[in-house]
Amino acid sequence: MWAWSWVERGIGNLVASAAGDGGAWIWGGPGGGERWHEGAVVVGVTAMAGLALAATLVISSRRGSLRSPWSRRKRKHALTKQQWNSFFTSDGKLRDGGVKFLKKVRSGGIDPSIRAEVWPFLLGVYDLKSSKVDRKASQAQKRKEYEKLRRRCWQMGRDSVCSEVVFSARESLSTERGSPCNDILEQRVLEETPASGLVIPDEDDKSGITHADASVEDTESSESEYSTDEEPGSILMSSGAEGCIGTYPKDTKIDSVMGEDIKSDRKAEDFATWQRIMRLDAIRANADWIMYSPAQAAVSKDKAFKSAVAVGLKDYDHLEPCRVYHAARLVAVLEAYALYDPEIGYCQGMSDLLSPILAIVEEDHVAFWCFVGFMRKARHNFRLDEVGIKRQLNIVSKIIKSKDSHLYRHLEKLQAEDCFFVYRMVVVMFRRELTFEQTLCLWEVMWADQAAIRAGIGKSVWGRIRLRVPPTDDLLLYAIAASVLQRRKLIIERYSSMDEIMRECNSMAGQLDIWKLLDDAHDLVVTLHDKIE
Query: In the 8-state DSSP scheme, what is residue 405?
Result: H
Q: In this predicted model, what pLDDT tens digit does every residue of 85-105 receive, in sequence order?
A: 999 999 999 999 999 999 899
Query: Which has the minimum average pLDDT: 7-21, 194-208, 245-259, 404-418?
Result: 245-259
Q: How many residues does the chain have?
A: 533
* Closest C-alpha among 479, 492, 486 to residue 522: 479
HEC letters along 120-156: HHHCCCCCCCCCHHHHHHHHHHHHHHHHHHHHHHHHH
Per-residue confidence (pLDDT) for residue 446, from 0 to 100: 95
Burial of 155 (0-12, 13-18, 19+ CB in 10 A): middle
Give the C-alpha separation, 99 to 467, whole Å.
9
Higher pLDDT, 468 or 343: 343
Report how far apart the first and last C-alpha atoms of the chain are (Å, whole number).
26
For residue range 367-413, list pLDDT tens digits in order: 999 999 999 999 999 998 899 999 999 999 999 999 999 999 999 99
pTM exceeds cut of 0.85:
no
What integer pLDDT is reported at residue 149 of this predicted model? 96
Q: Please state the rounded mean pLDDT for residues 114-134.
A: 97
Q: Which of 80-84, 244-248, 325-329 has the lowest mean pLDDT?
A: 244-248
Distance CA 165, CA 158 (A): 11
The angle subtended at Cα 167 by Cα 214 and Cα 255, nearest 5°, is 90
Question: What letter would DSSP give residue 218?
Answer: P
Q: What is the mean pLDDT of residues 330-335?
A: 98
pLDDT single digits (tens) 159-199: 655 545 444 444 444 444 444 444 433 443 344 333 333 34
The per-residue DSSP string of 438-479 comes to HHHHHHHHHHHHHHHHHTTGGGSHHHHHHTSS---TTHHHHH
Q: Rounded to an integer, what distance in angstroms lies between the CA atom of residue 327 and that of residue 330?
A: 5
- Binned at pLDDT 50, 70 and 90, residue 510 comes out as confident
Confidence of residue 458 (pLDDT cuts 50, 70, 90): low
Q: Closest by alpha carbon to 360, among 336, 328, 326?
A: 326
Residues 6+ apart with CB under 8 A from 286: 232, 355
Q: For residues 295 and 362, is the Cβ–Cβ distance under 8 A?
A: yes
Selected residue with higher pLDDT from 458 and 198: 458
